[in-house]
Amino acid sequence: MALDPIEEIKTRFDIVDIIKEYIPLQNAGANFRARCPFHQEKSASFMVSASKQIWHCFGCGEGGDLFTFVMKHESLQFGEALRLLAQKAGIQLESQDPRLKDEKSRLYDCMSAAVDFFHLGFLKSPRALHAREYAAKRGLSEDIIDEFKIGYAPGDENLLYQYLLGKKFLASEMLNCGLVLKRAQGYQYYDRFRNRLIVPIRNLHGAVVGFGGRLLEEIKDAPKYLNSPQTALYDKSRIVFGLDKAKYEIRKTDEVILVEGYMDFLALYQAGIKHVVATSGTALTVEQIRLIKRFTSTLLFCFDSDAAGSQATVRGIEHALSEGMNVRIIELPRTEDGVSKYKDPDDCIRASKDDWAQAVKDARSFVQFHFDRTMNTTVITDGYAKRKAVHHMLGIIRLLAERVEQDHWIKKLAQELFLSESVLWEELTKGAKQATQKISPAPQKVAQPKEQGQSIQMLFLSFCIRFPSMCQEVMNDIDNEMIDHELDKMVYEQFKNNQEPSGKECEERYNLLSLLAEKEYEFLSEKNALEIGLQLADKIRDEYRKRKIDELQTLMADAERTNNSEAVQRYTQEFSKLKH
Ligand SMILES: [Zn+2]
């Protein structure tokens, strides 16, 4: 019998590899540590155990296995995380699995049925000839067509709708996927994408969430490019086209090239430039920038010949700068009279790989780009032009997240325009006050730490696990009742009796404590350990005594109030025992 998919996923993946896709991990003995992604912290208290395949943050108390990490990091329900990891592992999930019966999963199925429909149509249908011709004209190779599942949407009224009905999907599901539209009157549904070349749009994990469609012949009133609408699966502000494919290469090269449109993306990708992603003409959102920033903080913008000044582009760059990214601009080469040689990156890479490579090499920082441009076009003897130039440049400098960088550019600007730095600084701050709250990055959600640091008792138990040879000595005077946490008490008892931890909860607690041991005692030598262990034991006894004294004092006060002399006497005896 096949393994349970959850178990199978756990055997296929190493939790360390998965978590590494989200945050950088550092070796810490047999384990790994990082700064916790779920709360803000300066030191690293987030631990991952390769041997136990668990993670735990000793700062905020969050922890669990592979699934809980992905669920928490991606804000997913269990079913969604299961689907995501199954897909990654190449495991076919039984769609009968009740865990997958949620609505979103149905929508994902519906989308992938649509991918098949479009892709097979592209490959096989005699009517897709002009789509195949168009793809050939754009130079798309068979490999790329296969890898990206490029498709064809026929011109008919509702062929996709009929096909999906045949696959037992509901019209409401197709609507929710953005695949069909409903006429205002009557009950007719019709396909959204008709007579188009189709490019699937995927989320970070490769699941198709939307489509882009390029019109294949002029049709009156039909837009040349059409994208899926915002749906439950397709949150446009959080999807970056191509990131699922490019993420590893981006991490490797530590930079990403951003182009406008999937055709430019496909051309570069096919030419072997794989650290590339695309926008679909809309401004980059802060969420998209943050997604990209997981993999690199160097962003190279490459625009169609003159889009560098477009509103959408500028807004995207502002977001990137405010997130502290290093932004550079790739300019496509120009002829000697300053005319663009190429229409777009697609055009450039297909004509000359050398020209493209040179353009990337010549990429300038965003500020440098504007600085050069402004200086080239400003006649500095003209007072008005000079003022305009200053304002333009100060607007750019103001976007920089670092004061040091601002200082650098203020100095340069002062030099070039023969102005005093102090005047420029004054103008810069003045403008900042006037500027209506430009970009304010949404405050990070900060989890409230559940427990500040570790209790002495946990530290003590993890010490015992780490240095079993010293246990006898340090455990000597520690009774079970001195341990508060119920599970800790059980773990301690089993441990004292030389038993393996038994019961799921105890086992989990034991694993957690051993992870804590790795975190705390990684560099503690056997030689120095005993002293630490004895100190911990002392503290536990101290705490326990203080607690008992408090309790007794309360009891005694009660007994005195009710004139229960017998009880007063008993408590006094106990009290004096505790006192030494
Ligand atoms: Zn944490």
Mean pLDDT value across residues 276-305: 84
In the reported structure, the alpha carbon of residue 448 is separated from the centroid of ligand 1 by a whole-number distance in angstroms of 9
pLDDT confidence band for 449 (50 / 70 / 90): very low
C-alpha 404 – ligand 1 centre gap (Å): 31
pLDDT above 50: residue 33: yes
| d(CA 52, ligand 1 centre) in Å | 19
pLDDT of 530 higher than 90: no
- Domain borders along the chain are 5-97, 102-234, 243-362, 372-434, 456-579
Residues of the chain above pLDDT 90, percent? 29
Tokens of 478: 């520690």
Ligand 1 centre distance from Cα of residue 444 (Å): 13
Q: How far does the centroid of ligand 1 lie from the alpha carbon of residue 44, in Å?
A: 9
Instruction: Convert the pLDDT of each residue in 465-519 to its tens digit.
Output: 888 888 888 888 888 888 888 888 888 888 888 777 778 888 888 888 888 888 8
Q: How many angstroms does the Cα of residue 451 sit away from the middle of ligand 1?
A: 10
pTM over 0.75: no
For residue 502, the CA-to-ligand 1 centroid distance in Å is 28
Q: How far is the CA of 454 from the centre of ligand 1 (A)?
A: 13
d(CA 260, CA 263): 8
pLDDT at position 240:
94
Mind listing the pLDDT tens digit for each residue in 65-102? 999 999 988 878 888 888 889 888 887 776 555 555 67
397 within 8 A of 410, measured Cβ to Cβ: yes
The string of pLDDT tens digits covering residues 193-241 is 999 999 999 988 888 999 999 999 887 888 888 999 999 899 888 899 9
How does the average pLDDT of the chain come out, rounded?
A: 85
* Cα 524 to ligand 1 centre (Å): 24
Q: Which residues are CB-neighbours of 360 under 8 A, at least 6 positions away?
A: 257, 300, 330
pLDDT of amino acid 441: 37
Rounded distance from Cα 41 to ligand 1 centre (Å): 8
pLDDT average, residue stretch 316-334: 86
| CA gap 505, 433 in Å, rounded | 56
Number of Cβ atoms within 10 Å of the Cβ of 137: 8
The CATH fold assigned to 243-362 is Dna Topoisomerase Vi A Subunit; Chain: A, domain 2 (3.40.1360)
How many angstroms separate the alpha carbon of residue 515 from the centre of ligand 1?
Answer: 14
Q: Calculate how far, in angstroms, residue 206's C-alpha sits from the geometric centre of ligand 1.
A: 28
- Identify the band that residue 448 occupies on the pLDDT scale cut at 50, 70 and 90: very low
pLDDT tens-digit readout, 375-392 = 887 777 777 888 888 888
Q: What is the pLDDT of residue 306?
A: 58
CA distances from 396 to 330, 401, 427, 434, 451 (A): 18, 11, 13, 15, 43
Report CA(69)–ligand 1 centroid distance (Å). Answer: 12
Q: How far apart are CA 296 and CA 237, in angstroms?
A: 19
Q: Predicted confidence band at 284 (pLDDT cuts at 50, 70, 90)?
A: confident
Output the DSSP codes for 522-539.
TT--HHHHHHHHHHHHHH
CATH class label, 102-234:
alpha beta
> Cα separation of 147 and 119, whole Å?
11
Adjacency order of strands within the sheet including 31-34:
26-28, 31-34, 46-49, 54-57, 63-64
* Residues 50-70 pLDDT 10s: 888 899 998 888 999 999 999
Q: What distance in angstroms lies between residue 73's CA and the mean position of ligand 1's atoms?
A: 12
CA of 100 to the centre of ligand 1 (A): 29
Q: How far is the CA of 220 from the centre of ligand 1 (A)?
A: 56
pLDDT band of 260, cuts 50, 70, 90: confident
Q: What integer pLDDT is reported at residue 452 of this predicted model?
A: 43
In the predicted structure, residue 187 carries a pLDDT above the cut 80: no
CA 457 to centroid of ligand 1, rounded, Å: 20
CA of 40 to the centre of ligand 1 (A): 7
Question: 5-97 belongs to which CATH class?
Answer: alpha beta
- Three-state DSSP class for residue 45: coil
35: CA distance to ligand 1 center in Å?
8
